[in-house]
Structure 1
């Protein structure tokens, strides 16, 4: 099973959770792999050169390389999931929701630094020249594609946060982990693959 991580800051907040899901799936006899999206973590690529399309292509390539038979996409990772494999999507979100979280974080950071910025100003700059939002340098292509990205509607099965209980870890101010949520999500995935 290919794991497509959450995007940007949500990936950081959910890193421990993601690893624990993989461990629980391994205990259930399900092999998993978690590739880095180009420009993130250990990737040698530059984030500013990436787009949602390049991330989708990378996940298609990873699925083929690892001979994945299924996909588990976390949150915004659903926007990058290969469309030719059965996919379970955990709390998937549209691209505009991912982008809005980054814009909100940037306007707050600007205000704290004594600078005034608005979403409208940041959006115009992002679409035309790209920009850095909350520490992530986005190309104009990435910005525009996130703004327009809807969730695909085929070969997918969604798992809502309410299905696993508790509050979403991506909503917390700092990275955190909930072992009960990780086990619950892994159990649901294993049941749906059976």
Structure 2
């Protein structure tokens, strides 16, 4: 079902799944191009949660998805604020809200009024910034503007087809996921995690893709975790 939520910057669309009562998982997809590569996978997880009796929501965030906010006018703070309002919509209904952050989406739930956080392959902002810089240099080895975001400026900087505000890139230097999340990672990822699972990093593929088997494994992990939190 297509719904919406309001935040300080306007109104954004939100996909909703599952029952109209009980706990709800609000998902924050990865930022920029990784969001396109993993959207079908994230929707599959939310649909599988709905089959397990757990509601889900996938909000558009400012500058992402189908948002009317231009990408170069968005910021980490605005996206965090909007995600907060998306969760608050359910909190006002008396429902326990849980955040699902995937990759850099794990940077966006830090202000949200949630009962718990579940992160898949979370990454700090400075790592995302390094990846964005590598992508830009790979496309154009002659670029010399990639250090300017951390020094200030107002002219949007195009990286991988996205015009990004220097202020947003500067925010990435210090942005970190919340430390209290249940962290699940791929077996190939050496970073700290509570659980590791087998699978391929869909966000590395050239085109959007899906992995129903991995989605089912993650949905079950989330469902078991939420039931434990609710008991």
TM-score after normalising by structure 2: 0.76
The aligned residue for residue 183 of structure 1 is 216
Q: Which moves more between the two structures, 71-80 or 127-136?
A: 127-136
Pairs within 5 Å for 1:41-190? 41-67=65-91, 69-81=97-109, 82-85=111-114, 86-111=116-141, 116-118=142-144, 121-125=145-149, 127-129=151-153, 130-154=156-180, 156-162=181-187, 163-190=196-223
Q: How many residues align?
A: 187
- DSSP 3-state at the match of 1:14: helix
CA shift for structure 1 position 166: 1.4
CA shift for structure 1 position 108: 1.2
- DSSP 3-state at the match of 1:34: strand
Q: Distance in 2 between matches of 1:127 and 1:174?
A: 33
Does the 8 A contact of 1:126 with 1:138 survive in 2?
Answer: no
Unpaired segments ≥5 residues, structure 2: 1-24, 188-195
CA shift for structure 1 position 70: 0.9
Does the 8 A contact of 2:83 with 2:112 survive in 1?
Answer: no
Runs of 4+ in 1 over 4 A off after TM superposition: none
Q: Distance in 1 between matches of 2:179 and 2:112?
A: 9
Higher helix share: 1
CA shift for structure 1 position 124: 1.7
Q: Distance in 2 between matches of 1:62 and 1:83?
A: 9
CA shift for structure 1 position 125: 4.9
Across the aligned residues of Structure 1 and Structure 2, the Cα RMSD in angstroms comes to 1.6
Relative contact order (alpha carbons < 8 A, sep ≥ 6): 1 or 2 greater?
1
Higher strand share: 2
Does the 8 A contact of 2:90 with 2:97 survive in 1?
Answer: no
Which of the numbers 35, 38, 56 marks the counterpart of 1:11? 35
Q: Which moves more between the two structures, 60-69 or 183-192?
A: 60-69
Q: Distance in 1 between matches of 2:139 and 2:99?
A: 35
Unpaired segments ≥5 residues, structure 1: none
Describe the shift of the 1:28–1:127 C-alpha distance in structure 2 as closer, same or farther (beyond 3 A): farther
Describe the shift of the 1:43–1:83 C-alpha distance in structure 2 as closer, same or farther (beyond 3 A): closer
CA shift for structure 1 position 174: 2.1
1:31 and 2:55 are equivalent in the alignment: yes
Does the 8 A contact of 1:106 with 1:133 survive in 2?
Answer: yes
